Chain A
């Protein structure tokens, strides 16, 4: 019997690999290890509807328990892989040795820790896992104010959720605008206005120097300018670090994550990587390689890895030319308050922004261009613009600035007609 396909990490990419392998009629055994006690679940609601109790824990699992046996996937929960022997093609989990035919590294990422005194106090939270979200939810019930460090997606989602629960919320970020790394300035401005209007206090361009406490419990934050601000709870959302320690220790080439080629293959031909941990070449990026942290990226890379593992397993893909490469348009979303932000493409160093619709009308999009080429579109409450942007960017079609800026112009007409 052939050795199983082994997956390290029971998250978005891991589950998708199972789904896609079975869809492509791969019928060999699959073994999945997860360091967590909870079976794979959806992370996006953890900073959104779950915090607000709009959905309960029963809605979080990606697939029901019965899915794993039904798909012949041996799911090992609460069991971290501790080392990998590339030569023997085995993973080790404690004393258990598990041989593999192909291996997927789908270890995700871990929250970046705030490098200040007091970050270890009780009441200082980060948000990556269901356990983190449970803890935040429980604490939110007991406090009436919180400080959020980091005005990125997760920080702002938590801020908006806490505000709608009636909490006093203060958000700090060293950047001078919210979501500065990800969206156009006009989008940042619109979101700042929205959060201010809802009563969130934004402290942009400001750092905190330490977190203070009493009896191990957080009580305040010390701002860099000397101000002391009461804080019954702190949520830190300052980005993530790829979980690549295991891969690195095994000898896989790592550099800001596990380095993969366009086929999602690592430096070892029997090992693939997908999702937040994978540093990959991306045809939509202006840089040679990067990591993306999104459902889209984890899902689509797992699809690519599955196609390639299935092809290799059937002996049908000795040549690279018959492998599938990763070329899906990046997209992402964030729900803050009642508003839906959707992003398509990658908005590196745009040199021109065009607005479609009116920001005062609460539904509009920003088109990012570089040298006349459409790079990305950020849409606020405009799902149609977003879906269209995904198609335009995929097809490499760049509407002229006047066309993008004219809401009466039908951008769909620019798409090549379906064959």
Chain B
């Protein structure tokens, strides 16, 4: 159960105890964090679960599949180097302390 902190665009922090094996998107939804919309329910079809992974964590995560890469180019908020689709990342034990920033707009 790693602790992961989601940070809204306005700076509000939401520390949560994440379950391993569940996606970062599902973790946000389960904790009623509004900055993730996830219109397609995690099918990698909507890019409304866009997030920015803070600092070194970005490099430590498993590389993205081409689909995620393509979808990110069309997210509502401009893609950055740290951009990921949260539905495509599964929580693992070593994510303890990870910080995930959320964009102001998802659609």
Chain A residues contacting B29 (CB-CB under 8 Å) are: 63-64
Question: What A residues does B66 contact at CB under 8 A?
Answer: 383
Q: Is the CB of A384 within 8 A of B32?
A: no
B32 touches A44 (CB 8 A): no
Are B70 and A387 touching (Cβ within 8 A)?
Answer: yes
Asked whether, in the complex, the Cβ of A299 is within 8 Å of the Cβ of B39, the reply is yes
Residues 51 to 107 of chain B near chain A (Cβ within 8 Å): 66-67, 70-71, 73-74, 78, 107
- Tell me the bound Cα distance from A335 to B107 in angstroms: 23
Q: Which 6 pairs between the two chains have the least Cβ-Cβ distance?
A: A42-B41, A384-B70, A387-B74, A383-B70, A383-B67, A70-B32
**What are 12 inter-chain pairs, A to B, with CB distance below 8 A?**
A19-B37, A22-B34, A62-B41, A295-B41, A333-B43, A333-B45, A383-B67, A383-B70, A383-B71, A384-B73, A387-B74, A418-B78
Interface string of A285-314 (1 = CB under 8 A from B): 000000000011001000100000000000
Known: A295-B40, A333-B45. A64 touches B73 (CB 8 A): no
Chain B residues, CB < 8 A from A418: 78
Assess whether B71 is in contact with A64, with CB atoms less than 8 Å apart.
no
A23-B34, A59-B26, A64-B30 given as contacts; is B43 within 8 A of A44 (CB)? yes
Expressed in whole angstroms, the minimum distance between the Cβ of A120 and any Cβ of chain B is 32
Secondary structure of the A side of the interface? helix
Which interface class (under 10, 10 to 19, 20 to 34, 35 or more) fits B?
20 to 34
Quick check: is B24 within 8 A (CB to CB) of the other chain? no
Residues of chain B contacted by A64 (CB below 8 angstroms): 29-30, 32
B72 CB → nearest A CB, Å: 9
The reply to whether the CB of B44 lies closer than 8 angstroms to some CB of chain A is yes
Most buried by B among A19, A295, A303, A388: A295
Residues of A within 8 A of B45 (CB): 333, 342
Q: Interface size of A by Cβ–Cβ distance < 8 Å?
A: 29
- Closest chain-B Cβ to A409's Cβ sits at a distance in Å of 17
* CB nearest neighbor in B for A23: B34
- Residues in B with CB closer than 8 Å to A22 are 34
What 0/1 readout, one digit per residue, does chain A (60-81) give for beta carbons within 8 Å of chain B?
Answer: 0011101100110000000000
Contacts of A35-57 to chain B: CB distance below 8 A = 42, 44-45
Is A195 on the interface with B (CB-CB < 8 A)?
A: no
Give the CA-CA distance A303 to B34 in the complex, in Å.
15
* B74 adjacent to A391 (CB under 8 Å): yes
Q: Give which listed residue, B32, B44, B107, contacts A383 with CB less than 8 A.
A: B44
List, in ascending order, chain B residues with CB within 8 A of A383's CB: 44, 66-67, 70-71
- Chain B residues with Cβ below 8 Å from A59 are 26, 42
Residue of A23, A333, A340, A387 most packed against chain B (CB within 10 A): A387
Q: How far is the CA of A211 from the CA of B39 in the complex (A)?
A: 38
CA distance A383 to B44 in the complex (A): 9
Of the residues A23, A45, A295, contact of B39 by C-beta under 8 Å: A295
- CB contacts (< 8 Å) of A340 on chain B: these are 67
Q: Are B44 and A45 in contact (CB under 8 A)?
A: no
Which residue of the partner chain, among B40, B42, B73, contacts A387 with CB atoms under 8 Å?
B73
Tell me the smallest distance from the CB of A341 to a CB of chain B, in Å. Answer: 11
Residues of A within 8 A of B37 (CB): 19
Q: Judging by beta carbons under 8 Å apart, are B74 and A390 in contact? A: yes
CB distance from A235 to the nearest CB of B (A): 22
Q: Considering only CB atoms, which chain A residue lies closest to B106 in the complex?
A: A23
Alpha-carbon gap, A296 to B71, bound state (A): 16
* Chain A 364-419 interface residues, beta-carbon cutoff 8 Å to B: 383-384, 387-388, 390-391, 418
A42 nearest in chain B by CB position: B41
Complex Cα gap A70–B31 (Å):
10
Complex alpha-carbon distance, A295 and B74, angstroms: 18
Which of A67, A295, A383 has the largest count of B CB atoms less than 10 A from its CB? A383
- In whole angstroms, what is the CA distance A59 to B39 when docked? 14
Contact of B32 among A45, A66, A335 (CB under 8 A): A66
In Å, the complex CA distance between A247 and B28 comes to 36
A260 CB to nearest chain B CB (Å): 21
- Complexed CA–CA distance, A23 and B43 (Å): 23
Chain B residue with Cβ nearest A300: B107
Chain A residues closer than 8 Å to B78, beta-carbon distance: 418
In angstroms, Cα B35 to Cα A81, docked, is 32
> Nearest residue in B to A12 (C-beta to C-beta)?
B39
Residue-wise, chain B 4-31 has the 8 Å CB interface mask toward A (1 for contact) of 0000000000000000000000100110
A70 to B32, CA, bound (A): 8
Q: Are B41 and A45 in contact (CB under 8 A)?
A: yes
> Whole-angstrom distance between the alpha carbons of A221 and B74 in the complex?
47
Chain B residues whose C-beta falls within 8 Å of the C-beta of A23 in the assembled complex:
34
Give the Cβ gap from A181 to chain B, nearest Cβ, in Å: 21
Docked complex: A104-163 residues within 8 A CB-CB of B: none
Smallest Cβ distance from B44 to chain A, in angstroms?
7
Complex: A384 Cα to B71 Cα, angstroms:
7
